[in-house]
Amino acid sequence: MPIIQLSDVTKRYGTFTALNTVSLDIAKGERVVVCGPSGSGKSTLIRCINQLEVHDAGAITVDGVTLDGSKAALNRIREKVGMVFQQFNLFPHLSIIDNLTLGPMRARDKTREEAREIAMRYLTRVRIPEQADKFPRQLSGGQQQRVAIARALCMEPEILLFDEPTSALDPEMINEVLDVMVGLAESGMTMIVVTHEMGFARKVADTMVFMDHGEIVETAPPETFFTNPESARCKDFLQKILPH
């Protein structure tokens, strides 16, 4: 039984179809890397999974919960799915520790002590426990993104979504974030990662997904995906982004 099931999911913005009858099954613990040209619907796909966007047609089931647009389903899904954004989206007016404890205290009814303990555990895991009392703007981009990952982990989600987590970073900071993500992948977290970091994809992906024009064009394990992609569009794309 897959933990995430999308069948014929369609999402429109006005008359523009951002996702066109997309189907995808993801097993518990599976690591999926999604790539494709800009505007192909990658963000829309993962945003539908945690209902930041509500799909117009088709069915999405996450860990047994069918996303029918109801408040109850929405609340249950938010508990299970964490998200890391391209722009980090840390809360700028709160210290790092408060960024991390806000969710657990308000939405998980943890006491402040419990929440701090969880926060420090995950800050240690992303290797910046010493930054706990600073404010987001005092940290580098790479550190901020690691805080954002820790913030998502503090909610102890079943599934983590990453939307181009390294695209806003200076090149020298990309690896520190990818290293943390590799560590997470090794711990067995179910992950869907939108990224063009193909080195990372080769290392951790169980499944590669290639999207174009709101459709999933190709789904394959990385060995086949990188050496022998089926579609011409995918070949073309890989040629453009892979180093020669």
Partner 1 sequence: MSILPQLFTKPTQIAAAPHLMRGLRPFAKAPHQVRGRTLLLIALLATLSGCSADWGWYVVDPSTKSGWLNLKFLLSGLYYTILLSVTAILISIVVGLLIALPGLSKNPVLRGINRFYVEIVRAVPILVLILWVYYGLPQVADISISVFWAGVIALALSDSAFEAEIFRAGIQSIDKGQYEAAHSVSLNYADTMRFVILPQAIRRILPALGNQLVYMLKMSSLVSVIGMQELTRKANELVVTEYRPLEIYTILVLEYLVLILIVSAGVRWLERRMRTDER
Strands 16-26 vs 4-13: parallel, antiparallel or unpaired: antiparallel
Among residues 22, 26, 19, the alpha carbon closest in space to that of 2 is found at: 26
Residue 233 token pair: 């569009």
- Does 44 bind ligand ADP (CB under 6 A)? Our answer is yes
2 Cβ contact list (under 8 Å, min separation 6): 25, 26, 27, 28
State yes or no: residue 38 binds ligand ADP (CB under 6 A). Answer: yes
Task: Please give the Cα distance from 34 to 126 (Å, whole number).
Answer: 23
Q: By CB under 8 A, what part of segment 64-103 binds partner 1?
A: 75, 78-79, 81-83, 85, 87, 89-95, 98, 101-103
For residue 15, what are the contacts with CB-CB under 8 A and spacing of at least 6?
Answer: none
What CA–CA distance (Å, rounded) separates 163 from 43? 6
165 counts as binding ligand ADP under rule CB under 6 A:
no
Q: Which stretch binds partner 1 (CB under 8 A): 9-17, 26-34, 147-155, 170-178?
A: 147-155
Beta carbon of residue 151, minimum distance to partner 1 (angstroms, whole number)? 6
* Contact flag: residue 195 with ligand ADP (CB under 6 A): no
d(CA 214, CA 17): 7
Q: Is 42 in the site for ligand ADP (CB under 6 A)?
A: yes
Structure tokens at 46: 């993962």
Residue with tokens 């989206």: 89
The rounded distance, in Å, linking the Cα atoms of 145 and 160 is 14
Query: Using CB under 5 A as the criterion, what x/- string covers residues 13-52 for binding Mg ion?
Result: ------------------------------x---------
Which one among 33, 152, 173, 193 touches partner 1, defined by CB under 8 A? 152
Q: Which is nearer to Mg ion, 55 or 116 (CB)?
A: 55
- The amino acid sitting at 221 is P
Q: Is 116 in the site for ligand ADP (CB under 6 A)?
A: no
CB 45 within 8 A of CB 55: no
Closest approach, Cβ 164 to ligand ADP, in A, equals: 7
Query: Quick one: which of 5, 40, 99, 195 contacts ligand ADP (CB under 6 A)?
Result: 40
C-alpha to C-alpha distance for 144 and 136, rounded to whole angstroms? 6
- Please, what is the minimum distance in Å from the beta carbon of residue 99 to partner 1? 9
Interface residue list for partner 1 (CB under 8 A): 50, 52, 75, 78-79, 81-83, 85, 87, 89-95, 98, 101-103, 105-108, 111-112, 133, 135-138, 148, 151-152, 154-155
Interface residue list for ligand ADP (CB under 6 A): 13, 16, 18, 36, 38-44
